[in-house]
Amino acid sequence: MISLVLAGFGLTFFALADFARTAYNSADLGPNFYPRLISLLLLSFSVMQLIISIRRKGKEEFEAIAWRLVGGVFLLIFGYVLLWETGYVWLNTVFILILMIMGGARKWWVLLTTSAGYTALSYYVFARILNVPLP
């Protein structure tokens, strides 16, 4: 069900990305390129997840999914409260680490490299390249 909702979001955002047209140089990609790219990626991954969910032999119980959802929402709220106290780098690394453990990842090297690698990459892109101030 979530895959279908996200696919709907992808289609909707793709259609809305062309809503406000602006004049731009034909050699440039234009202001609607990035929203359309993200929309297509969202749609593509949603369809892939839907196919994986349909083909999966063993289905998770509703109770386990509900606890993960509640835990994820609690983690998100708790993380937002702590963001200004701990800073982006530490909080994001721990946040991704906990989400991966909740998702079933158990190899320590996968947990550490993914959480630290994504944090380092996102920090570099946003703080250094795009000059977005991070807490």
Q: Choose among 92, 5, 75, 80: nearest CA to 43.
A: 5
> CA 86, CA 79: separation in Å to the nearest integer?
9
pLDDT for residue 117: 93
- Report in angstroms the alpha-carbon separations of 27 from 33, 36, 62: 12, 17, 51
pLDDT tens digits along 63-100: 666 677 777 788 888 888 888 788 888 988 998 898 88
pLDDT score for 23? 56
- pLDDT, tens digit, 9 for 90 and up, residues 8-38: 888 888 887 766 555 556 566 666 777 888 8
- The pTM of the full predicted model, rounded to 2 decimals, is 0.54
The length of the chain is 135
Alpha-carbon span 50 to 101, nearest angstrom: 22
From the CB of residue 39, how many other CB atoms can be counted at a distance below 10 Å? 20
| Higher-scoring residue by pLDDT: 105, 58 | 105
